[in-house]
Structure 1
Amino acid sequence: MLKIRQSEQFKFGYNSIIKIDEIEDNALVDFGILRLARKQVETFYEDKKEMAFLLIQGEIIFEWEGNKETVKRSNCFDEEPWVLHVPKKIDVKITGLSDTSEINVIKTYNDKIFKSKLYNQEDCKPEIRGKGTMNECSTRIVRTAFDITNAPYSNLVLGEVINFPGKWSSFPPHYHPQPEIYFYKFMPEGGYGFSQLGENVEIVKQNDTVKILNQRRHPQVTAPGYAMYYIWAIRNLDGNPYTGPIFNKEHQWGNNKNAKIWPKR
């Protein structure tokens, strides 16, 4: 299954969405959502996997290796994320401070030992992509927490995208051999968008998840009136880490700042 529908609100506790040992359509990661109530505590430890915890919204306490940090994010559209990234064999404790908090949890195998890092909101500065091209039809916000440039030891790449209402992202259409996961939120929550996976198109709604495998092209678009947020998580392949997209050549002309067909004025 390439699209996973979450039709109801997540229950409190850890909600598994994708498992690393899936036989069919394996994305090579564990991926899920941790929902915490006030004063609720959850702990994590992995003997063979690195872990990353991305705060989607709420207020929580991260505790790891003698560190204790309180982090807060009112919502995922207007504020940058906090991300805790740890290697294997590290205990992580998370305590909820608000009535409801949501944290994305992603894990994958990694034998490398590296220094744990809490990426703050300054580390995840927004980048405006697509601005000034094609009548702003693919202008969007991209936030990268970590990738090969600042975490070459990791087997993961993790970030977020905000689609403005009615606009495209992951455009021009592109692909890469590394598996990727998109997890969606909408504002207002009743919104929807479309995710292209190769020659197929899936409608996506609040809390849906999509696996992008087998080098499928994967542009995205959201309906007018609805902003679309998605987490993008890439699993680097052994000896072949993600270094950037491969664009469809027939559509790459749209990156030209002078690209314009109609209207001519």
Structure 2
Amino acid sequence: MYEKLGELKEGYTMITDMKSKHPDMLQDIGIYVLSAGKAERLFDEEKEAAILLLEGDVRLEWNGFSREVKRDSVFTESPWCLHVPKGIEVKVTARTKSEVLVQKTDNPNSFEPKLYTPDDCESIVAGEGVWNGTAERVIRTIFDYNHAPYSNLVIGEVISYPGRWSSYPPHHHDQPEVYYYRFDQPAGFGCAMVGPHAYRVEHNSYITIPGGMDHPQATAPGYAMYFCWMIRHLDHPWTDRLIEEEHKWLLDPHAKIWPNK
């Protein structure tokens, strides 16, 4: 369920694979590290793909279109993400050293490719004004069922503030999910809970979350935590979180929290 990837090397680092690594996640997920001038051609006859720039400056080319996109930090800048159906080749050329996350899954549907810009990304601050501010964080939804009902994927990002909680109140959903983590400092760390298990998460690590398991997260004081969250729809799509019954009282905006009871 948990793995620390360590320093990412030039080329491709696999996180999940539908055939060989965490196949229950039903997704191919990995990160390309490209030095300046290097290019990678991405093509799959059966799988759609979400191509997310984590850091760097790249040129994206697809279907006769081209766009240069840049991102200095996942903590301060909203994402660029290209979403393409099966059978569309994408060429990614690094203009500077760049890191690109790719999420894929099988999908028979054909649809128009879409480049999601930072302005397209829905970004909210969740947890404001409740629970004494202990779960305040930024949630960015790149696309989900509401944006792309033809897709079998969901992808988004969270910036968890130092010393705060995320994926809170504890919730679950039937669909499998993967979290990929980064921290604003190399020594940063947090805690990921998956059902009854707890893991110390660090920079360039990930967890896999089977359907039906709750997965609250906590960030160590002094460190900001980023994670990319990636869901694979099942026959019924993911549209919302299912809050654990024993924690639903937290949804009351007037709930009294110790020591203010």
* Alignment correspondent of 1:118: 115
- Aligned pair partner of 2:182 in 180, 185, 201: 185
Does residue 33 of structure 1 match 2:17?
A: no
Deviation per CA, 1:87-146: give whole Å up to 9, x if none. 000000000011x21111011000000000000000113111111101010011000010
Q: Are the counterparts in 1 of residues 80 and 115 from structure 2 also a CA contact under 8 Å? A: yes
CA spacing shift, 1:154–1:35, aligned 2, 3 Å: same
Q: Please tell me the residue identity of whatever aligns with 1:67.
A: F
- Aligned pair partner of 1:48 in 46, 49, 55: 46
Does residue 196 of structure 1 match 2:193?
A: yes
Write the distance in 1 (CA, Å) between the matches of 2:154 and 2:123: 16
Which stretches in structure 1 are left out of the alignment for 5+ residues?
Answer: none
* Alignment correspondent of 1:163: 160
Write the distance in 2 (CA, Å) between the matches of 1:20 and 1:102: 22
Q: TM-score, normalization: structure 1?
A: 0.96
Which stretches in structure 2 are left out of the alignment for 5+ residues?
Answer: none
* Alignment correspondent of 2:248: 252
Write the distance in 2 (CA, Å) between the matches of 1:94 and 1:11: 17
CA shift at 1:26, angstroms? 1.7
CA spacing shift, 1:53–1:155, aligned 2, 3 Å: same
Q: Are the counterparts in 1 of residues 13 and 32 from structure 2 also a CA contact under 8 Å? A: yes
Moved more, 31-40 or 13-22: 13-22
- Aligned pair partner of 1:242 in 234, 238, 247: 238
CA spacing shift, 1:174–1:182, aligned 2, 3 Å: same
Q: Are the counterparts in 1 of residues 81 and 115 from structure 2 also a CA contact under 8 Å? A: yes
Write the distance in 1 (CA, Å) between the matches of 2:246 and 2:80: 37
Write the distance in 1 (CA, Å) between the matches of 2:162 and 2:11: 32
- Aligned pair partner of 1:146 in 143, 146, 164: 143
Q: Are the counterparts in 2 of residues 84 and 117 from structure 1 also a CA contact under 8 Å? A: yes
CA RMSD of aligned residues (A): 1.2
Identity of aligned residues (%): 43
Q: Please tell me the residue identity of whatever aligns with 1:242.
A: W
Q: Are the counterparts in 1 of residues 184 and 225 from structure 2 also a CA contact under 8 Å? A: yes
Write the distance in 2 (CA, Å) between the matches of 1:153 and 1:130: 30
Q: Please tell me the residue identity of whatever aligns with 2:189.
A: Y
Write the distance in 2 (CA, Å) between the matches of 1:116 and 1:212: 28
Moved more, 175-184 or 214-223: 214-223
Q: Please tell me the residue identity of whatever aligns with 2:65.
A: N
- Aligned pair partner of 1:213 in 183, 186, 210: 210
CA shift at 1:61, angstroms? 0.4
Size of the aligned set, in residue pairs, is 261
Q: TM-score, normalization: structure 2?
A: 0.97
CA shift at 1:56, angstroms? 0.8
Q: Are the counterparts in 1 of residues 50 and 81 from structure 2 also a CA contact under 8 Å? A: yes
Q: Please tell me the residue identity of whatever aligns with 1:5.
A: K
Structure 1 moving runs of 4+ over 6 Å: none
Q: Are the counterparts in 2 of residues 80 and 125 from structure 1 also a CA contact under 8 Å? A: no
Q: Are the counterparts in 1 of residues 17 and 23 from structure 2 also a CA contact under 8 Å? A: no
Write the distance in 2 (CA, Å) between the matches of 1:214 and 1:142: 21
SS at match of 2:246: helix
Deviation per CA, 1:165-187: give whole Å up to 9, x if none. 00001000000010000000001
* Alignment correspondent of 2:85: 87
Write the distance in 2 (CA, Å) between the matches of 1:102 and 1:257: 40
CA shift at 1:154, angstroms? 0.2
* Alignment correspondent of 2:259: 263
